[in-house]
């Protein structure tokens, strides 16, 4: 049996691939998918999770919707990056999988009661912070939290804040202060996971409907990343966090103290990564610094291939 994981996501083009990787890789046992407002509204991210599971043939993983807005701040979505639907590009039919009806926090709490679970958040950390606040006893049952968010350097939403942390800095502060082992997969490493034309060709080369859908998702994502950020190829952020759980050798990390800026007028949402101990605080996180990109993309392509063969 694989490592028990729950993916907490805001699909989102890169979240969509993260769902497929988490569902298909034999190293993992995807117990649940929870959704949060982020890239788009909760209604849209939840519909998108259902759409991805439908097109990928992921029928036996419970999906539960979570928080519709950050803990304190108003919701900010990323429609400029992911489109009006949050998953623009390919056309999706009616989803064939539904949500369980329970809140995301309740699904995570229920699964944690049965066995320790690794949580993999790839959106704002609102659901995770709410879980830790509502059920503080669950902290001891979380194996680790391996998240996509933050950066050891510049941000992508403000000069020093990455989107997932910027949307809900208070939630991130709760997570990093929780004492649960946390691994931060930030922009400094996810920008090494560029979906080049060769990767898109490999998806198309699968010759399957799912491969075509993924290629179309990456083509849309690539266009917005080119227009907004000047990237020649889009970074596949979220699957990097999943890859770290699959095989830690894929994503190298160092230990450091990470402080979350919640008050800064210009820096709110910044992940202040203190590699040299300048703040006099002990390390509270593993921080991703390197990616084996060829091996990473081999896992991604294989996941799409495996799911394409599911009837
Ligand atoms: O900054 C990148 C992150 O924000 C990714 O998780 C992307 O899906 C968006 O949620
Ligand atoms: Ca995301």
pLDDT confidence of 310, banded at 50, 70, 90? low
CA 137 – CA 80 distance, rounded (Å): 39
What's the mean pLDDT in 53-63?
97
What's the mean pLDDT in 260-283?
97
Q: What percent of the chain has pLDDT above 90?
A: 98
What's the mean pLDDT in 40-47?
98
What's the mean pLDDT in 161-178?
98
For residue 149, the CA-to-ligand 2 centroid distance in Å is 9
State whether the beta carbon of 237 lies less than 6 angstroms from ligand 1.
Answer: yes
- Contact by Cβ (8 Å): 136, 180: no
- Residue 163 structure tokens: 């989107």
Helices then strands, each counted (H, E), the chain: 12, 9
Q: Which residues surround ligand 2, an ion (CB under 5 A)?
A: 10, 12, 15, 122-123, 238
For position 193, which CATH number holds?
Answer: 3.90.245.10
For residue 280, the CA-to-ligand 2 centroid distance in Å is 32
- Residue 177 structure tokens: 């202060």
Q: Which domain holds residue 26?
A: 3-308
Helix (H) or strand (E) holding 291, with range, is strand 285-291
Specify the pLDDT at position 1: 85
Q: Which atom of ligand 1 is nearest to the CA of 164?
A: 4
- Residue 299 structure tokens: 């896992």
- Contact by Cβ (8 Å): 40, 77: yes
Q: Which atom of ligand 1 is nearest to the CA of 163?
A: 1
Specify the pLDDT at position 157: 98
pLDDT confidence of 308, banded at 50, 70, 90? confident
Residue nearest to atom 1 of ligand 1 (CA): 163
For residue 143, the CA-to-ligand 1 centroid distance in Å is 23
What's the mean pLDDT in 161-167?
98
**Residue 242 predicted with pLDDT over 60:** yes
| Tokens 């949050």 found at | 86
Specify the pLDDT at position 195: 98
Helix (H) or strand (E) holding 180, with range, is none
DSSP states along 209-229: HHHHHHHHHHHHHHHHHHHHH
**Residue 106 predicted with pLDDT over 90:** yes
pLDDT confidence of 309, banded at 50, 70, 90? confident
Tens digits of per-residue pLDDT, 274-301?
Answer: 999 999 999 999 999 999 999 999 999 9
Q: Quote the mean pLDDT of the chain.
A: 97
Tens digits of per-residue pLDDT, 126-149?
Answer: 999 999 999 999 999 999 999 999
Closest CA to 127 of 173, 171, 185: 171
- Contact by Cβ (8 Å): 245, 146: yes
- Residue 186 structure tokens: 């930030």
Residue nearest to atom 2 of ligand 1 (CA): 163
Q: Which atom of ligand 1 is nearest to the CA of 39?
A: 10
Closest CA to 210 of 14, 46, 17: 17
What's the mean pLDDT in 81-98?
96
State whether the beta carbon of 156 lies less than 6 angstroms from ligand 1.
Answer: yes
State whether the beta carbon of 8 lies less than 6 angstroms from ligand 1.
Answer: no
For the CA of 76, the nearest ligand: 1
Tens digits of per-residue pLDDT, 211-234?
Answer: 999 999 999 999 999 999 999 999
For the CA of 167, the nearest ligand: 1
| Domains in the chain, number | 1
SS3 146: strand
């Amino acid at each position: 049996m694989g490592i028990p994981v729950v993916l907490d996501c805001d699909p989102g083009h890169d979240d969509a691939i993260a769902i497929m990787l988490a569902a298909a890789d034999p190293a993992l046992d995807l117990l649940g998918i929870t959704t949060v407002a982020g890239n788009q509204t909760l209604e849209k991210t939840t519909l998108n999770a259902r759409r991805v599971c439908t097109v990928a043939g992921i029928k036996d993983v419970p999906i539960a919707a979570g928080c519709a807005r950050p803990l304190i701040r108003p919701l900010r979505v990323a429609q400029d990056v992911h489109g009006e639907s949050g998953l623009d590009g390919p056309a999706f039919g009616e989803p064939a999988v539904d949500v369980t009806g329970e809140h995301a926090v309740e699904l995570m709490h229920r699964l944690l009661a049965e066995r320790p679970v690794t949580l993999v958040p790839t959106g704002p950390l609102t659901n995770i912070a709410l879980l830790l606040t509502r059920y503080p006893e669950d902290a001891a049952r979380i194996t680790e939290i391996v998240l996509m968010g933050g950066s050891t350097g510049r941000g992508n939403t403000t000069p020093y804040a990455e989107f997932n942390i910027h949307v809900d800095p208070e939630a991130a502060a709760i997570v990093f202060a929780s004492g649960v082992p946390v691994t931060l997969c930030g922009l400094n490493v996810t920008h090494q996971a560029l979906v080049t034309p060769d990767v898109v060709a490999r998806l198309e080369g699968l010759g399957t409907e799912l491969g075509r859908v993924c290629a179309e998702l990456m083509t849309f994502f690539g266009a917005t990343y080119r227009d907004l950020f000047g990237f020649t190829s889009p970074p596949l952020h979220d699957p990097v966090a999943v890859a770290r759980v699959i095989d830690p050798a894929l994503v190298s990390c160092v230990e450091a103290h990470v402080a979350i800026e919640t008050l800064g007028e210009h820096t709110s949402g910044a992940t202040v990564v203190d590699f040299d101990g300048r703040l006099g605080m002990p390390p509270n996180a593993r921080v991703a610094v390197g990616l084996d990109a060829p091996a990473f993309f081999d896992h991604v392509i294989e996941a799409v291939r495996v799911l394409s063969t599911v009837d």
